[in-house]
Every structure is written in structure tokens, then in C-alpha cells.
Amino acid sequence: MPVTDVKQDLDARTLTITAEFAAPVERVWQVYADPRQLEKVWGPPTFPATVVEHDLTPGGRVTYFMTGPEGEKFGGYWKVTAVDEPRSFAFEDGFADEDLNPDPEQPVATSVYTFTERDGRTHATYVSTYETVEGLQTVLDMGVVEGSTDAINQIDEFVA
């Protein structure tokens, strides 16, 4: 399994997931840079994603919805703040309403995804910092650890 560690730090309001993929950094980067590839791994298998808007540049937006097993749709967005292709990108990560506008009632994280190469493999670090402890606790209660782990664990097979 690609996910090697998951750490939650309520004091720092962070969730950190580390993973290792059997592919070079450039290949893993393409998963995030291409909306059709991102759809294959963004949601857990039971909640596949559909990317609507995808602009992975500073100031750009990515919007998507995940569809649950009963057909229910859950929106989300990224507001991209920094890109260092193919090494890292940072974004505001939040929930969206049915029109894919940010939902101010839901928690928002500042996320930084970093990719480094080690012996032809990619070591990935995913760090999400929430505005409040309550925000982090809300997503933990929603199952973010399990959902993110299931989603990230799809990447190795996809890039093979």
C-alpha cells in the first residue's frame, strides 16, 4: 500500500499523510495536473470524483464533485496558491455547494502536497492545516483519514 503513515495533530490543526509510489515524480505529478487522471484517484473507490474545472496554476481553481454509492453528490474546490512543477503545489481545500461555490459552513484547509524522488520512486507528503481544531475534528469525524487513504492507495495501480 502506498500510504506509509498518517499523523493527526490537533494542537497544530494538521493532518499529514505520507506515501510512496512506484513511479517517478513526473508521472505522479501528471495524476494531479491532468483532470481526467485526477478523477481516477481523487475520491475513494466508492465516491468517484468528476472534475468540472481544473486550473493548476497560482490563482487557479479546481472544482469537482464526488458521487456516493446512492448517487448523492458532494462538491469540493481547490483555490491554488502555489505551484512548483513537478515538486509541489499548495491550495485552499474546501467543501462546495451544489453549484460548486465554497460552502462557508464547512471547514477549510490549507494543503501542501510535496513530491520527492528516491531511487526512481516518489515519496509524497500531504499536509492539510485547518483553520480551527473544530474544523479538523469535523473532517476526522467525516472519515477523512479513511477516505484519503483509500484514494491515495489507488495511485500506485493507476500509474503502473
Question: In one letter, which amino acid is 125?
Answer: T
Query: Which position has the higher pLDDT, 106 or 1?
Result: 106
**Confidence tier at 1 by pLDDT (50, 70, 90):** confident
> Which residue carries 481544531 as its cell?
133
Question: In one letter, which amino acid is 49?
Answer: A
pLDDT value at 160 more than 90: no
Burial class (CB in 10 A: 0-12, 13-18, 19+), 119: exposed
Let me know: does 159 contact 152? Beta carbons within 8 Å: no
The verdict on domain 3-151 having CATH code 3.30.530.20 is yes
Rounded mean pLDDT, 17-31? 97
Domain spans of the chain, in order of start: 3-151
- pLDDT 10s digits, 56-101: 999 999 999 999 999 999 999 999 999 999 999 999 999 999 999 9
